[in-house]
Amino acid sequence: MKLKLHVWRQKYGKSKGYFEQHDVDYVSEDMSFLEMLDVLNEKLLKSAKEPIAFDHDCREGICGCCSLTINGNPHGPEKATTTCQLHMRKFKDGETVYIEPFRAKAFPVIKDLVVDRTSLDTIIQSGGFISVNTNQPQDANALPVDKKQADLAMDAASCIGCGACVASCPNSAAMLFVSAKVSHMGLLPQGQPERKKRVLAMVNTMDAEGFGTCRNFYECEAACPKEISVRFIARMNRDFLKASLSKED
Amino acid sequence: MGILSYLQSSILSKIVMAVTGAMLVGYIVIHTAGNLLIYSGQDAINSYSQFLHSLGPVLWIARIVLLLALILHIWTSIVLKVSSNEAKPEKYAVKNYFKAKLTSRTMLWTGVAVFLFVVYHVSHLTLHITNPEHVVNQMYLPHGLHLSSAASALSYERTDVYRMVILGFQNPLISLVYMIAVTIVGFHLNHAVQSMFQTLGLNHPKYFPTIQKSSVALSFIIIFCLISIPISVLLKLIGGNL
């Protein structure tokens, strides 16, 4: 397969970025998107050029490290798939492919396609935890959990924190990410003591980190490699309103 | 900051958008239903208008509340738009949307258009600034009363809303602007109504699909009902005698 790649290059955060064109002819249908870039980088290194910087880690679709906005879609055109799990057979021979970093003010570019997603960690630090006393663990069955609630909490917990929701949102809102994190604890009994404090803290941190506002485009849900539903956003709005009206301090 | 401090919270701002939006949607639905009285003839719509005016302070409270809702709705949307633009300083070279529809992406612009139209619409039909020649009074007589003197005749006059509407829509330009404007109102509502429920946290698999369909249906019903009036006037189906 041949492809016409337009890759975003940016030497460092503050420098001006530009698209660099690469005509590649080695692409096999069985390669993943990242493997396709690996081969391109090897070629660049052999000709003593700067390789393209991009994020990756597990390459199994579970770590949330890989990013890339491919032809305008975070993680590419395939539904429920991370970039590392995206196969080149999803592209047509001779196709033009634009590769850009995840774009948001809260995700500043570090180099080329690598962005700094620390602001998601900052949100987690502000409330994405439960407080447990250290001691003998209690019997697991002593805490009844409704099966449906547990399933829903699991759906929310499947968020890998990649930031595709932010990248896909025309307003760079982080509502899907934050709502998944708020919900997966808020749905379980262990998350109840800090439920109000958590949603208020995480939403306020989200606002302070410079993410935009949700306008219910639902692009995040479509871009999410874990198919997290925007219903979690509605749930978070509900929780936030309740907590705002009834906080104790 | 006081009362405007809600603007610092993205979700509270959204809730203000949803609640003020709900009030405006409620108004549009009632207004559309009232407008349809034109099909029942001159007396029906003029009596309705007279009834509304007879409410006195209640009418003014409703007007003030709606005006405040409109101002909050617009002001909040401007603040949100500015902060959202700041949140994505660099746009993508290639854009490809999966779910964002034309109606949802153009909310700000349809909103601006609706606002400009409302200003014109109110100047025409409520404040009588544009086309004051469309405004005349209608003489009416309650049942069982007979006109005896000129003095009592004056007390049985009311604004002839029917004539005002018909004369307005007999002007093809006014009709055209109106039809375009109410279509844009429908466009705005198409996304707005379901968005309102989502923002207020009312999204459940049991009923949200119905809400989404109803939102689209409502927008088409509003467009259809309102557009039918200038078309009927232009085709002389109503008001042909004026």
For the domain made up of A3-111, give the CATH fold: Ubiquitin-like (UB roll) (3.10.20)
Mean model confidence pLDDT for chain A = 96
CATH number at residue B19: 1.20.1300.10
Q: CA–CA separation, B215 vs B151, rounded Å? A: 51
- Of the pLDDT bands very low, low, confident and very high (cuts 50, 70, 90), residue B140 is confident
Number of domains in chain B: 1
| Contact status of B88 with chain A (Cβ, < 8 Å) | yes
What residues 47-76 of chain A have any CB closer than 8 A to a CB of chain B? 69, 71-73
Nearest CB among B90, B191, B203 relative to A231 is that of B203
3-class state of residue A18 by DSSP: strand
Sketch the domain layout of chain A as residue ranges. Answer: 3-111, 118-246
Interval B21-33: pLDDT, tens:
999 999 999 999 9
Interval A210-240: pLDDT, tens:
999 999 999 999 999 999 999 999 999 999 9
Query: How far does B190 lie from chain A, in Å, by closest CA?
Result: 12
Instruction: Summarize the confidence of residues B133-149 as an average pLDDT.
Output: 73
Q: State residue B184's pLDDT score.
A: 98
Contacts of B94 in chain A (CB under 8 A): 71-72, 98, 100
Contacts of A248 (CB under 8 A, 6+ apart): A196
Q: State residue A244's pLDDT score.
A: 93
| Contact status of B15 with chain A (Cβ, < 8 Å) | yes
Query: How far does A26 lie from chain B, in Å, by closest CA?
Result: 24
* Residue given tokens 């890998």 in the structure block: A160
Q: Do A106 and B87 touch (CB under 8 A)?
A: yes
In percent, how much of chain A has pLDDT > 70?
100
Q: State residue B3's pLDDT score.
A: 76
- Is pLDDT at A150 greater than 70 in this prediction? yes
- Is pLDDT at B146 greater than 70 in this prediction? no
- Of the pLDDT bands very low, low, confident and very high (cuts 50, 70, 90), residue B241 is confident
Cβ atoms of residues B96 and A114 within 8 Å? no
3-class state of residue A1 by DSSP: coil
Q: State residue B24's pLDDT score.
A: 98
| A1 CB neighbour count, 10 Å cutoff | 17
Q: CA–CA separation, A209 vs A106, rounded Å? A: 6
Instruction: Summarize the confidence of residues B186-205 as an average pLDDT.
Output: 96
Sign of CA dihedral B146, B150, B152, B156: positive
| Contact status of B189 with chain A (Cβ, < 8 Å) | no
Q: State residue B216's pLDDT score.
A: 95
Instruction: Summarize the confidence of residues A54-69 as an average pLDDT.
Output: 96
| Contact status of B195 with chain A (Cβ, < 8 Å) | yes
Q: Do B96 and A173 touch (CB under 8 A)?
A: no
Q: At residue A240, what are phi and psi to the nearest 5 degrees?
A: -65, -45
Q: State residue A136's pLDDT score.
A: 86
* Residue given tokens 């871009």 in the structure block: A223
Contacts of B198 in chain A (CB under 8 A): 216, 230, 233-234, 237
Contacts of B195 in chain A (CB under 8 A): 215-216
| Contact status of B201 with chain A (Cβ, < 8 Å) | yes
Q: State residue B155's pLDDT score.
A: 67
Q: State residue B138's pLDDT score.
A: 85
**Span of A3-12, A232-241, B133-142 with lowest mean pLDDT:** B133-142
B16 closest CA partner among B189, B198, B196: B196
Domain pair A3-111 / A118-246, same fold: no
Instruction: Summarize the confidence of residues A78-107 as an average pLDDT.
Output: 97
Q: Do B199 and A71 touch (CB under 8 A)?
A: no
Contacts of A69 in chain B (CB under 8 A): 92
Q: Do A212 and B95 touch (CB under 8 A)?
A: no
- Is pLDDT at B114 greater than 70 in this prediction? yes
Mean model confidence pLDDT for chain B = 92
**Span of A136-145, B40-49, B210-219 with lowest mean pLDDT:** A136-145
Q: State residue B157's pLDDT score.
A: 82
- Of the pLDDT bands very low, low, confident and very high (cuts 50, 70, 90), residue B153 is low
Cβ atoms of residues A108 and A101 within 8 Å? no
- Is pLDDT at B235 greater than 70 in this prediction? yes
Q: State residue A103's pLDDT score.
A: 97
- Asked whether residue B67 is domain-assigned, the answer is yes
Long-range CB contacts (within 8 A, 24+) of A42-46: none
Instruction: Summarize the confidence of residues B213-223 as an average pLDDT.
Output: 96
For the domain made up of A118-246, give the CATH fold: Fumarate Reductase Iron-sulfur Protein; Chain B, domain 2 (1.10.1060)
Q: State residue A135's pLDDT score.
A: 85
Higher pLDDT, B139 or B133: B133
In this prediction the ipTM stands at: 0.92
- Is pLDDT at B242 greater than 80 in this prediction? no
Q: State residue B150's pLDDT score.
A: 53
| Contact status of A81 with chain B (Cβ, < 8 Å) | no
Nearest chain B residue to A70 by CA distance is B94
Query: How far does A172 lie from chain B, in Å, by closest CA?
Result: 6
- Asked whether residue B60 is domain-assigned, the answer is yes
- Of the pLDDT bands very low, low, confident and very high (cuts 50, 70, 90), residue B151 is low
Q: Which domain holds residue B166?
A: 7-85+100-234
Instruction: Summarize the confidence of residues A116-132 as an average pLDDT.
Output: 96
- Asked whether residue B95 is domain-assigned, the answer is no
**Span of A195-204, B3-12, B64-73, B117-126 with lowest mean pLDDT:** B3-12
Helix (H) or strand (E) run with residue A78 in it: none
